[in-house]
């Protein structure tokens, strides 16, 4: 348990250092690229699709900090009574992450995206080891989700999934997202990394939409 807590703490510390360096670049990128680069029709959405506050997360399935933040972001959405949604965009910066995305998107085509994502994140230390990524092991992680595995394996290589991933990478570059997770709330980049800071930014946007 102590080791797990230490890993999460290190992930947060590393993320904070990265955020200090990239916040200004992300803000400039968001202003230049506009809202279109933040939310695309193909992106997975968790929560109320009509929510007035949108958290956009540029996400890498192999990223330890993304794994640490996932339950926190999910809790923000679940506690919002339908006022906050999460839009996931892919930023496959680690070796093998592009293949992990293909597998997750194949599960999504069968309505099992979020269960597959959570199983992949739970098993991340096994398949996403730096220096020896083995994303094909994700198939084992998601085997109990009820997927038609033969269909999922075929779908993972589909042109539609490849096109969506290319679009996410292009938007990531336009927004100058250079590390993950990269958060935007109603278009505003999170410029100071941390759970409290993310919650504060969401609450600021909630306060705006609640004004009479």
pLDDT of residue 91: 98
Q: How confident is the model at residue 24 (pLDDT cuts 50, 70, 90)?
A: low
When the pLDDT of each residue in the chain is averaged and rounded to a whole number, the result is 89
pLDDT at 20 over 80: no
pLDDT at 179 over 80: yes
Q: How confident is the model at residue 28 (pLDDT cuts 50, 70, 90)?
A: low
* Pairwise CA distance, residues 59 & 11, whole Å: 14
pLDDT per residue as tens digits for the range 103-151: 999 999 999 999 999 999 999 999 999 889 999 999 999 999 999 999 9
pLDDT at 5 over 80: no
pTM (2 decimals)?
0.84
* Pairwise CA distance, residues 74 & 88, whole Å: 11
Is-contact 67 14, C-beta < 8 A? Answer: no
Question: Average pLDDT for residues 67-82, to the nearest whole number?
Answer: 97
pLDDT per residue as tens digits for the range 187-202: 999 998 899 999 999 9
pLDDT of residue 209: 87
Six-digit token string for 66: 């993304």
pLDDT of residue 177: 94
* Pairwise CA distance, residues 15 & 177, whole Å: 13
Question: Average pLDDT for residues 51-71, to the nearest whole number?
Answer: 97
pLDDT of residue 34: 65
């Amino acid at each position: 348990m102590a080791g797990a807590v230490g890993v999460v703490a290190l992930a947060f510390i590393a993320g904070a250092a990265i955020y200090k360096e990239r916040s200004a670049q992300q803000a400039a990128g968001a202003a230049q690229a506009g809202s279109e680069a933040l939310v695309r029709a193909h992106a997975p959405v968790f929560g109320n699709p009509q929510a007035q506050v949108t958290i956009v997360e540029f996400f890498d399935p192999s990223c330890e900090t993304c794994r640490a933040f996932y339950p926190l972001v999910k809790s923000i959405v679940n506690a919002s009574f339908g006022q906050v949604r999460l839009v996931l965009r892919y930023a496959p910066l680690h070796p093998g992450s592009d293949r992990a995305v293909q597998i997750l998107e194949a599960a999504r085509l069968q309505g099992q995206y979020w269960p597959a994502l959570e199983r992949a994140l739970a098993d991340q230390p096994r398949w996403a080891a730096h220096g020896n990524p083995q994303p094909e092991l994700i198939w084992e992680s998601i085997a109990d989700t009820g997927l038609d595995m033969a269909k999922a394996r075929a779908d993972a290589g589909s042109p539609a999934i490849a096109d969506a991933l290319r679009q996410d990478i292009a938007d990531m570059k336009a927004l100058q997202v250079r590390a993950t997770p990269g958060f935007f709330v109603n278009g505003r980049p999170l410029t100071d990394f941390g759970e409290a800071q993310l919650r504060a930014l969401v609450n600021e946007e909630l306060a705006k939409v609640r004004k009479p």
